[in-house]
Amino acid sequence: MTATVSSNTTFDHKGQNFFAALPVLSTLTLFQQGQKEIKIRHGGEVYRLRITRRNKLILQK
C-alpha cells in the first residue's frame, strides 16, 4: 500500500520513501552536447527518448 503526499513524494506503509535510493540521472549526462534524441534498448525493443522544443521529455516505442 502506498500514499502520496502533496510534495509528490511516495511512501510505503512504513513511511519509507520509495524513491530515496533510486539514482538520479541528469539529461546533461544522457544527451551529448546539442543532442535532442537518444535511443534506449530495453527487453529487445528500442525506444526513443527526445527533448521537445518546449523542453519536455517524450519516450516513444
Residue 19's nearest CA partner among 41, 31, 4 is: 4
Give the E-state strand segments of 2-61 in sequence order.
Answer: 2-4, 10-12, 37-42, 45-51, 57-60
Nearest CA among 27, 32, 15 for reference residue 55? 27
> In this structure, is residue 12 part of a structural domain?
no
State the residue for C-alpha cell 534524441: 37
Q: What is the mean pLDDT of residues 22-48?
A: 93
Specify the number of domains making up the chain.
1
- Per the model's pLDDT, the better-predicted residue between 6 and 32 turns out to be 32
C-alpha 30/C-alpha 24 separation (Å) is 11
Domain range for 56 is 25-61
1 assigned to some structural domain: no
The confidence score (pLDDT) of residue 4 equals: 40
The pLDDT of residue 61 is 94
Q: What CATH number is given to the structural domain containing 31? A: 2.10.70.10
